[in-house]
Amino acid sequence: MRLIVTRPVAESEALAHQLHDRGHSVLIEPMLRIQNIDDAPLDITDAVALLMTSANGVRAFAAHTPRRDLPVMAVGAATGAAARDAGFRDVDTAGGDVIALANMVRDRFKPGKGVLVHVAGSAVAGDLAGDLGQEGDRGGYIVRRAVLYEAAATTQLSEACRAALQAREIDGILFFSPRSAATFVKLLLRDNLGELCRDIDLYGLSQAVADAAGILPWRCLKIAAMPRQDDLLALL
pTM attached to this predicted model: 0.82
The candidate with the shortest Cα–Cα distance to 101, out of 82, 122, 129, 70, is 129
pLDDT in tens, 29-80: 999 999 999 999 999 999 999 999 999 999 999 999 999 999 999 998 889 9
Tell me, what's the pLDDT at 135?
Answer: 45
What order do you get walking across the sheet with 220-223 strand by strand?
25-28, 2-5, 172-175, 201-204, 220-223
Which domains are assigned to the chain?
2-32+154-233 (3.40.50.10090), 39-151 (3.40.50.10090)
How far is residue 155 from each of residues 85, 104, 191, measured CA to CA in Å? 31, 37, 12
Sign of the CA dihedral with 182 first, then 188, 190, and 194 last:
negative
pLDDT reading at 173 higher than 70: yes
Dihedral of CA atoms 169, 174, 180, 184 in degrees, nearest 10, equals: 20
Dihedral of CA atoms 193, 198, 200, 203 in degrees, nearest 10, equals: 100
What are the beta bridge partners of residue 28?
Answer: 5
